[in-house]
Structure 1
Amino acid sequence: MLRFAMLKKTALTMVAALTAVTVISQWGSFQDKAPRVWAKLSDAVWKNDTPTVGTLQGEAAVLMDERTGQILYGKNEHKRLYPASTTKLLTALIALEKGDPDAIVTVGNEALLRTQGESSAGLYQGQQLTLRDLIAAMMLPSGNDAARTIARYISELETGKQLTMEEGLQTFVDMMNKRAEELGAMESHFVNPHGLHDLDHYTTAGDLALIARKARQNKLLRDIVSESEHTVKSASTTLGPTFVNRNKLLQPASGYYFDGANGMKTGYTSAAGYCLVASANRGSKSYIAVILNSSSSDVWIDATKLLKYGFDRDRAAGYIP
């Protein structure tokens, strides 16, 4: 009996030692997989019973109360910066304001206009998709090909005539700038529907929050950006392609999952850095966080800090979101 107890103790010791070795050897990956924990242990702490945001790595940021439109936190919110693919929020908003989501759209030669390395949904000329599916192709995998197709389609719908690719894109850009101005986004200027870098294509964190708040008033758009993935429903018995959402706040296995996250759009170019418009809801409380020019990992932690700050404020005020 004594011998068995000693063997059992030895085995447990070996298991503990192996576990310790595994933890130490995999420590870096554990850190990568649990950024929410590390964010909580950072400088985003409560001071005198008051929540704080802490330090953000993004060059500009905004936290907006979605219901009221009130800005609860701002960092360089009026600084002109490049938005990258967060631009597509405005493209999607205009498309759903102007078009029928169930309309069938045929992809034209705009699918062939691709810059090396740009994000793509893999569309091809002659492919037919509903406008709803095209918006998913643009918003989830961030397809620039889908953005161009949408822009040309909506421009032809608006003008009532066939347009060349260049005419269609320019007409849509004019619509973008007009709609931004109507929304009060007066510090922005757009030259394309997707956000590829251009010196004359810029916005601010404050303007993006205004655009995002309006976009969230469209139920279909809210539904699309909250999907972790979207499968195209073909008219035949075969399902179409599946688009996976790049928003890691929505993906439980990403290591950046945020409870209550429900959108909205990622963005990156070398000039813009990593950008994100994030939204989350808990109970009756909903917030929109905008981060511009952060890093590949910090953009998620920045957004987490902002959204957490909003919900912590509610808790401090006696709300339980």
Structure 2
Amino acid sequence: MKKTVFIIGTVLVVGLGAIFGTMLIKTIQYTIEESAEKDLEKSQDLSYKEISHILQDKANSNQKTDKTSNGTSYLEDSHRENSDMANSIPESERNRVGEKEIESSREFTEKNIEDGFYANADGLSASGWEEPSVEANSSPKIALNIKNPSISIDAESAILIDCKKGKVLYHKNATTPVYPASTTKLMTALVILELCNLNDTVKVGEEIQLIASDSSRAYLQEGERLTVQMLLEGMLIPSGNDAAYALAAHGGRIILKDKSADAKRAVNAFVDKMNEKVKELGLKDTHFKNPDGYDAEGQYTTAYDMGIISLEAIKVDIIREITEKERARNIFLSGEDVTWKSTNKLVVNGSGAFYKYAIGLKTGSSSLAGRCLVSAAEKEDKQFISVIMNSTASGRWEDSITLLKYGIEH
């Protein structure tokens, strides 16, 4: 009888132990999984450095815990193999082997980033992290890898960029090719400022006859003499195509080192320089055919690329100073007294589309490009660029204000 009771008791103890053991294991497993999910949610708000540390710690932990079939760790096996290899290599060569291994690891990491393995929709993946950023030579794929806010605009393509943080905040068809129209003149300004000084004298020549008959104008006349700064104002404020060609011809002759070069040859040399600047900035989807942006076969850009160009332009004090003006009065070196009014309603008080935080930059309009506007706004220590391409007559102002307000308020 005692023996029977003992056996039954033993069975009950073992059975209950197994049940409670299973429950304990499941509880631990659930706790671990729940903790991992919470950590993943929290990781979306972590900084780039914090996420890097987490991933590095995880990689180190995996190395220490992975086991081979004979019970030794991969890390230990790897250490033995490396040690055996090191013993077989002369001491003078060991440092070189280590350098090659480090270089190989670096190449593998860089290739992963190029192939996009280091980013997904949330920015975090099992392989690592690549922080979205927009700057010269940056990857559009990475820069646009954001949680896009729900914003309604008329434009066919657009982008909003935080200038201070170098981040895209919103995008719509940002890598779709579009006609640039007069937003091209931002690149014209960047290139001419690399070639000459603001006070250099320019004599307007036959190059102004090369513009289309329906072009926007600064109403320059052949033989007038003015400075480079005056021509920049004539190009960027009233969007004068004649001013753009006068600058291009002047810059082209500097490039060619030939003051007597004919207008077409000089302008073509300048446009070639514009496309060299495109390559310098790492832009893959932009090509210019003229200095004023007038519709031409083979001339195109994207909202993303124009965003990069605008980031470069906003850094140049004279471009910002000119493009935030409502109007500009100039007395040419040849005596003409001219006043130009801005085509950018965001900076014109009383225009009906005035935005008090706007600080430039450039309008654009053509039959193929639609209505375009590259605008910038600044409040306290915040600065943003909005690129609106192929919108409507009223839409480009409303779209720009919508995006700039979103940047300032978030």
Aligned equivalent of 2:266, options 168, 172, 180: 168
- The answer on whether the counterparts of 1:196 and 1:269 sit within 8 Å (CA) in structure 2 is yes
Aligned equivalent of 2:252, options 149, 155, 176: 155
In 2, distance between residues paired with 1:292 and 1:152?
Answer: 28
Q: Aligned partner of 2:162: which letter?
A: D
- Aligned residue in 1 for 2:405: 308
In 1, distance between residues paired with 2:243 and 2:265?
Answer: 17
Q: Secondary structure at the match of 1:241?
A: strand
In 2, distance between residues paired with 1:134 and 1:53?
Answer: 41
Q: Determine whether 1:240 maps to 2:337.
A: yes
In 2, distance between residues paired with 1:235 and 1:82?
Answer: 35
- The answer on whether the counterparts of 1:185 and 1:211 sit within 8 Å (CA) in structure 2 is no
Q: Secondary structure at the match of 1:266?
A: strand
- The answer on whether the counterparts of 1:189 and 1:202 sit within 8 Å (CA) in structure 2 is yes
In 2, distance between residues paired with 1:69 and 1:287?
Answer: 10
**CA distance 1:77–1:52, change in 2 (3 Å):** closer
Q: Secondary structure at the match of 2:306?
A: helix
| Alpha-carbon displacement from aligned partner over 1:7-59 (angstroms, at most 9, x marks no partner) | xxxxxxxxxxxxxxxxxxxxxxxxxxxxxxxxxxxxxxxxxxxx956211000
Structure with bigger gyration radius: 2
- Aligned residue in 1 for 2:90: none
Q: Determine whether 1:219 maps to 2:317.
A: yes
In 2, distance between residues paired with 1:78 and 1:54?
Answer: 18
- Aligned residue in 2 for 1:62: 159
Aligned equivalent of 1:272, options 369, 372, 377: 369
Q: Determine whether 1:177 maps to 2:275.
A: yes
In 1, distance between residues paired with 2:333 and 2:246?
Answer: 20
Structure 1 gaps of 5+ residues are 1-50, 314-321
Equivalent residue runs for 1:1-321 within 5 Å = 54-161=151-258, 162-235=260-333, 240-313=337-410
Q: Aligned partner of 2:164: which letter?
A: R
Compute the RMSD of aligned alpha carbons.
1.7
Q: Aligned partner of 1:210: which letter?
A: I
- The answer on whether the counterparts of 2:211 and 2:245 sit within 8 Å (CA) in structure 1 is no
Q: Secondary structure at the match of 1:232?
A: strand
- The answer on whether the counterparts of 1:185 and 1:207 sit within 8 Å (CA) in structure 2 is yes
- After TM superposition, the score normalised by the length of structure 1 is 0.79
- After TM superposition, the score normalised by the length of structure 2 is 0.62
In 2, distance between residues paired with 1:199 and 1:293?
Answer: 17
Q: Secondary structure at the match of 2:337?
A: coil
- Aligned residue in 1 for 2:19: none
In 1, distance between residues paired with 2:232 and 2:383?
Answer: 23
Question: Which stretch has the larger CA shift, 155-164 or 277-286?
Answer: 155-164
| Alpha-carbon displacement from aligned partner over 1:102-128 (angstroms, at most 9, x marks no partner) | 111000101222322111110011110
More helix by share: 2
- The answer on whether the counterparts of 1:112 and 1:125 sit within 8 Å (CA) in structure 2 is no
- The answer on whether the counterparts of 1:185 and 1:208 sit within 8 Å (CA) in structure 2 is no
**CA distance 1:53–1:225, change in 2 (3 Å):** farther
In 1, distance between residues paired with 2:204 and 2:181?
Answer: 23
Report how far residue 153 of structure 1 moved.
Answer: 0.3
In 2, distance between residues paired with 1:119 and 1:136?
Answer: 14
In 1, distance between residues paired with 2:165 and 2:248?
Answer: 30
Report how far residue 252 of structure 1 moved.
Answer: 1.3
In 2, distance between residues paired with 1:297 and 1:131?
Answer: 33
Q: Aligned partner of 1:228: which letter?
A: E
Report how far residue 244 of structure 1 moved.
Answer: 0.7
Q: Aligned partner of 2:304: which letter?
A: G
- Aligned residue in 2 for 1:36: none
In 2, distance between residues paired with 1:116 and 1:311?
Answer: 40
| Alpha-carbon displacement from aligned partner over 1:222-252 (angstroms, at most 9, x marks no partner) | 101111111113458x662011110000011
**CA distance 1:124–1:186, change in 2 (3 Å):** same
Structure 2 gaps of 5+ residues are 1-147
- Aligned residue in 1 for 2:96: none
Q: Aligned partner of 2:292: which letter?
A: H
Q: Percent identity?
A: 37
Displaced runs of 4+ in structure 1, greater than 4 A? none
How many pairs does the alignment contain?
263
Q: Secondary structure at the match of 2:202?
A: strand
